[in-house]
Each structure stands twice: as structure tokens, then as C-alpha cells.
Amino acid sequence: MEANMIKIWGRTDSSNVQKVLWCCGELGIEFERVDWGGKFGGNNDQAYREMNPNGLVPTIKDGDFVLWESNSIMRYLNAKYGNRKLLPSSPEGMASANRWMDWQLSTFNATIVPLFWNLVRTPPDKRDPKAVHAALEKTGKAWQLVEKQLAQHRFLAGEEFSLGDIPLGVWAYRWFSLPIERPEQANITRWYNQLKQRKPYQTYIMIPLS
């Protein structure tokens, strides 16, 4: 590892780690990553807890600066190494991108996570069909807000790709890869097809679900 290289703690199949990896890819940031969390453990190591008292991934270290919270990490990387190119410069555009990032963490995540866990991380005989059905319905409704926004704009915060697309873009791949019946949402499909053209999306997001 080069002395000044950013270090990322987190397994590659974590949605929140994937956001940071995708962001690094967009900004051309080199990093060293260590498998952490999930089956790799480490979350409760004392040294790790000192960096990230939540015991979750991702965590990054840049020089002496330690940061956790995936969306905050992306904002930091964009400000420090990206010349802020992944956020619109107008206050309105920036607020809109931030809003979609916050909405993913505060609202959307809770609808889709039960679906993903049931269908991907739970053995078939232990799955809860009622929970799957309820989550499918809630997630479809939540995507409807995104569908409406994307009917007006190419990307979530306007005509250009931004950080606003990353948190939901991570979940779009999972949504379209799950063995479920999805409501027809033509604008989300168009947006997802655009994301699939991006190299870092192909590298870090379009990987087998696990």
C-alpha cells in the first residue's frame, strides 16, 4: 500500500461499501480495501470500534482522518478529490442530490432490505413469504417516487449523473436482479440501463448477489 492511499474497511457485497467503491471508481481514486464485516467479522475488534463505534462497514481512513457513514464518505471524497464534480453546483441541484441520498438511507432502505435478505441471504425453507409480499409492495411504491422524478430528468438530481444516483443505483441492480415480479416503471428501467453503461457500476455493483 502506498503511504497516502485511502484505506477502506468493508466487504464487497455490502450495499453501503459498494457506494463508496463506485464513488472511488467515478473519481479515479486509488484505494486499499480490506474484507471486513459479514462473514469476515472484525466489526467488534476494539481497534475497529475505536474508528467506527457503530461496528458497521464501511469505514475509511485518509491519512489521519477516519470517517464512517457511506453517504458522508462519498461527499467527503467528492469534495476532497473530485473537485465536487459529482454534485450539481446550484444550491437547488445539490440539495436535490443530497435529498435522494438521504431518502435512500432514511426511508427506501427499510422497504427493500427485508426483500433482499429474505430472497438472497435466507435459505429457501426459512423464508417468510408474507414478509416478501409486504416488502415487495412497499418497495414498488417507494420506487414510484423515483419513477416520477426520472420522468422529468435523465438522472435523479438533473440531467447529469451525480452522487444522488449512487445510493439508489446500488439498489436498482439488486431490484432488477431479484427473482420477483416488478411493476412496470419505464423511467427507472431507462435510468438503470444508463447506469449499466458506467465502468465502475459494472465493476463494483454488477456482481452476483450474496
Q: Where on the chain is the footprint of ligand GSH (CB under 6 A)?
A: 14-16, 37-38, 43, 56-58, 69-70, 105
- E-assigned strand segments in 5-129: 6-9, 31-34, 59-62, 65-68
Q: How far is CA 75 from the centre of its chain?
A: 13
Give whichever of 121 and 133 is closer to ligand GSH, judged by the CB atom.
Answer: 121
Q: How far is the CB of 117 from ligand GSH (least distance, A)?
A: 11
Give whichever of 35 and 160 is closer to ligand GSH, judged by the CB atom.
Answer: 35
Instruction: Give me the amino acid identity at 91.
Output: P
Nearest residue to ligand GSH, by Cβ distance, number only: 37
Give whichever of 16 and 185 is closer to ligand GSH, judged by the CB atom.
Answer: 16
Pick from 177, 182, 195: which is nearest to 13 by CA? 177
Phi and psi angles of residue 4, each rounded to the nearest 5 degrees, phi first: -95, 10
Phi and psi angles of residue 194, each rounded to the nearest 5 degrees, phi first: -70, -45
Give whichever of 72 and 202 is closer to ligand GSH, judged by the CB atom.
Answer: 72
Q: How far is the CB of 88 from ligand GSH (least distance, A)?
A: 22
Q: How far is the CB of 121 from ligand GSH (least distance, A)?
A: 11
Q: Is the CB of residue 58 less than 8 Å from the CB of residue 33?
A: no
